[in-house]
Structure 1
């Protein structure tokens, strides 16, 4: 088995994509370890740990096919062939350290809510039917929907600005490159430096949605495998979101799905109605010109599948229309259709 295949298998396990048999074997291998005798390893020594794992894999693969079956601690038996096919790839996989066991999930919590923290904490619930604006000490604010709850320290820490939210809230964050702003919901952490976005958690608690209005944010699960494994793989489960994009986190799948928000809006600010009208009033404009203006205004990637569509021109005033209405008028004029594909919009000729 190649080192690349080894990495792919680890990633498959992290993503929950292993078969039941693969998962069973990994967990049985974990049961073979005597945790009291594991050598403590510095979590920064990823290269050393990976080499140790790789050396052990090759040792296990070298076992002859006629070797005796391997008895696991729970008395279940694996044949040597099965061991070489799957188990060899993960044999040393959990030999990380007594403090950094792969199968343990850690839940990140904001510093101001830690047991030893000395922060003065406020908790506010919007008990009205109207949206309620809460302003933080740095000028950032959140607009809470009805029944939403926010917790935050009166004074933010030196290294980060952290708050928690339950329900739905729209955040406008003041820029501070030295202190990122982190919003903790039940399942997701949203990290920003300065932008505007919405965090929405479902009442059932099995999903969280983050949508970006301006700027860029990174969202990642609150609970996850230990950072030491991410260092070995060079991967992270976090995703980046740009304007008019959203990510929906599934608590069951422990994964994000990225797509466009339901009603994309122009991202530019400080533009009056006359400027917007001029930007979206077209007179025999090429399709390339119209698409370029849409991309500039909404910061969305547009893909034109059929080059022949560029031979068309468009005349019309789209300044008062939503993005999808703009696309309806454009596509009707040039005999095309469009569809949302992930975080892009694909335009193609009608069949």
Structure 2
């Protein structure tokens, strides 16, 4: 079997396009391989892993034939070949399975390679919020007992800091250098935005909520990149304004929903324009919903199309989002509920 054929077979198995017979052989051989060398493999050296599997093919093809019942239905001429192919695939799956369950903890570059003298650390020991400004103009407002570590000078390709506790970040835009915040269990990655990170006192959960812009959050401890690429196990998610994600440490999953008090997403709509935007006079429900979507960048779903026959009159400018919805739904005889990052409006029963 050529090296190219070897690659193709692995691809076919991972894509689920193998024949039933090929699949059966792999599954029966899966638990029969020697696992002792797994701990010696550097998971970052894909060429080393591939070579071990390739060597295994030739060893198994040249080995004396056995009467293993797995191969009884194959001819003597093809049994050795099947052993080599199946062992190679099974070995590949065994190693990637091992790496899948082996976690890799990511740490910021400035803690891994720079000297202690290059790292700054600030702890808020006061009873009020404390603002720390970084060299690029980005800042964080630390809550009580929160700790931030950061390099004296950011790298040319990335800006990285660590956070313990709670802090509100405002990040200067720099498309060439993403800003990354490492908290207890979560890495938050942005280009330019504002967001809040809060780790619970117990350390069992971490919450990231977005005020403006868009952020990407992923676990600090994750599956190795090679396996994520093959099996699609990357758990990173994206958040937009008024959305939050809570990472549950023991389950290693994100719960994504809306923040407890959604706010208008633009500065203009937090000032004078709010009163005009939310003073309605016999306005169709479509107009009211459209204004809510524009202001809060939240997806509103009207479950019953008949509700669009209603109009609304009232001034909602001084109300929070959920108070706005309370008044609106009371007027049109409807209710609402939060479902993930959407708000569903339905007819009252």
- Please report the TM-score for the alignment, with normalisation by the length of structure 2: 0.77
- Structure 1 or 2: larger helix share? 2
Q: 5+ residue gaps in structure 1?
A: 9-24, 69-87
Structure 2 stretches of 5 or more lacking a match? 1-10, 17-28, 72-87
Q: CA distance change for structure 1 residues 331 and 121 in 2, over 3 Å: closer, same or farther? A: same
SS at match of 2:257: strand
Superposed CA offset, 1:106-130 (max 9, x none): 1100011015557611111100110
Residues 24-53 of structure 1 show CA distances to partners (whole Å, capped at 9, x for unaligned) of x99x7897252378698854999x89x98x
The 5-angstrom pairing of residues 155-166 of structure 1 reads 155-166=153-164
2:173 paired residue among 166, 175, 192: 175
Moved over 2 A (4+): 3-8, 28-46, 63-68, 88-92, 94-97, 100-104, 115-119, 270-274
| Within-5 A mapping of 1:259-278 | 259-271=257-269, 273-278=271-276
Instruction: State the Cα distance separating 1:235 from its structure 2 match.
Output: 4.5
Match of 1:231 among 223, 229, 232: 229
Change over 3 Å in CA distance of 1:5–1:287 after alignment to 2: farther
Q: Distance in 2 between matches of 1:231 and 1:31?
A: 25
Residue 315 (structure 1) aligned with residue 293 (structure 2): no
Secondary structure of 1:329's counterpart equals helix
What is the alpha-carbon distance in structure 2 between the residues aligned to residue 279 and residue 350 of structure 1? 26
Q: Residue in 2 aligned with 1:334?
A: 332
Contact 2:293 2:300 in 1 (8 A): yes
Secondary structure at the counterpart of residue 326 of structure 1 = helix
The match for 1:85 is none
RMSD, matched Cα: 3.5
* 2:145 is aligned with 1:147: yes
The residue number in structure 2 matching 1:35 is 38
CA shift digits 1:64-99 (9 cap, x unpaired): 99549xxxxxxxxxxxxxxxxxxx9966313359xx
| Change in 2 beyond 3 A, CA 1:40/1:251 | closer
User: Quick one: which of 186, 190, 193 aligns to 2:191?
Assistant: 193
